[in-house]
Amino acid sequence: MASADKRDSVFRFLRTHPAHVVCLQEVHAPPDCDFWTVQWGSAASWNYFTAILLSPSLGSPTFDVSHGGRVLASTFRFQGQVFKIANIYAHAARPARVIFFDELSAKADTFSSFDFLAGDWNAYPDPIRDRRSTAPPPETLSWPNLLPVLAPFADAALAGASSPYHTFHRVPRDSPSVHTRIDHVFVNVRHTSFSPSTKLLTYSPSDHQGVQVTFSTRAYTPRCCGVIIPSFFLPLPFALLPSLVSPLTVLLPSGTPPRSFFVLMPRISPLFPPASVSLSVVSLNVAWLLPTVVPLATSGMLLPMLLSLLSASNWTTVSLWKPLALPCVLVSAG
């Protein structure tokens, strides 16, 4: 991308495939490339090996460069929630790549806090599924050296694809062609509600295809958090979510049909104002809605109060429904 014409071409391509986060490798950026960010029109970080370009909707992100630029991390905010992503570019030569993976694995704990790992890793997990060539495969793979880093992550790009695919294509005239899946997007397994959808993007000047992964919450089951209140006067714990547009639903274990939240309001004593539950607490309670009473994990002060009332009869379950979040899109282009 050191060439102005090539950079303009890449920007035009990316704008025709809009994403919240774009991860690039082999960008060959000079030390002073602020003008590139101005051209992009939003927050971005560049070095010789990697780059991360962000949508203006993600606010004011932060960046961190390590391993000589082969690992570029960013922390950003999406719909009020903070996410961390690392863009990793591994060496093409296997001996150097093995050393690099070993260095990353020695600090595997630092990567467990990330939500996404992406990039061109020049490696693949399955030599049968992820490689197609008449040339013999390498005797040993470098992928196992990266496994300590990937332990808390799942292969989102593969999970979101309708069939196996390859992202790198080398078709020389006088030797066998090679097609491999070396560009990856992984998601931390703590995001169990994320459903990935993968699309390959062809950019003709490159021998890599871009990997576009769109993450969305499962459409068939709304995310919710449950709280329990007895039929007598007890403060109602609830969460004030910025995206709350749906009314609360009241479910009675006795089989009574659901009623509006406002029917319940007269039963709440005005002497007890609602207890606020932080978003971090709510995130701990994200689960599929069960047709039974499900307690809410609250602060250390409120939890004993609820536990002391578990023997009370005629409990009511209040489910707070959160609308589905807009998809967050990641693009990894080699």
- How far is residue 289's CA from residue 328's CA, in Å, rounded to a whole number? 24
d(CA 7, CA 10): 5
Residue environment code for 203-241, b if the CB has 16+ CB neighbours within 10 A, otherwise e: beebebbbbbbbbbbeeeeebbbbbbbeeeebebbbbeb
CATH of domain 4-219+326-333: 3.60.10.10
Residues of each domain in the chain carrying CATH 3.60.10.10? 4-219+326-333
pLDDT of residue 27 exceeding 80, the answer is: yes
Burial of 317 (0-12, 13-18, 19+ CB in 10 A): buried
Query: Measured between alpha carbons, how far is 315 from 155 in angstroms, rounded to an integer?
Result: 42
- pTM here is 0.67
CB within 8 Å of 207: residues ≥ 6 apart: 168, 169, 170, 334
pLDDT in tens, 67-119: 999 999 999 999 899 999 999 999 999 999 999 999 999 999 999 999 999 99
pLDDT range class, residue 1, cuts 50, 70, 90? confident
Decide: helix, strand or coil at residue 211: strand
User: What is the pLDDT, as a whole number, of residue 64?
Assistant: 97
Residue 101, Cβ density class (10 Å: 0-12 exposed, 13-18 middle, ≥19 buried): buried
CA-to-CA distance for 294 and 221, rounded, in angstroms? Answer: 17
Retrieve residue 226's tokens.
């449950």
Match 């890599």 to its residue by tokens.
Answer: 208
Q: Which has more confidence, 166 or 326?
A: 166
In whole angstroms, what is the distance from residue 18 CA to residue 190 CA? Answer: 26
The more confidently predicted of residues 250 and 191 is 191
C-beta of residue 213 within 8 angstroms of C-beta of residue 157: yes
* More reliable by pLDDT, 47 or 313: 47
Q: How confident is the model at residue 83, as a pLDDT? A: 96
Lookup: tokens for 283 = 């995130």
Residue matched to tokens 């994990």: 297
pLDDT tens profile 246-303: 333 333 333 334 333 333 333 333 333 333 333 333 333 333 333 333 333 333 334 3
- Mean pLDDT of the residues in the chain: 74
Report whether 60 contacts 37 (CB < 8 A): no
CA 241 and chain centroid, separation: 20
Region 129-134 average pLDDT: 93
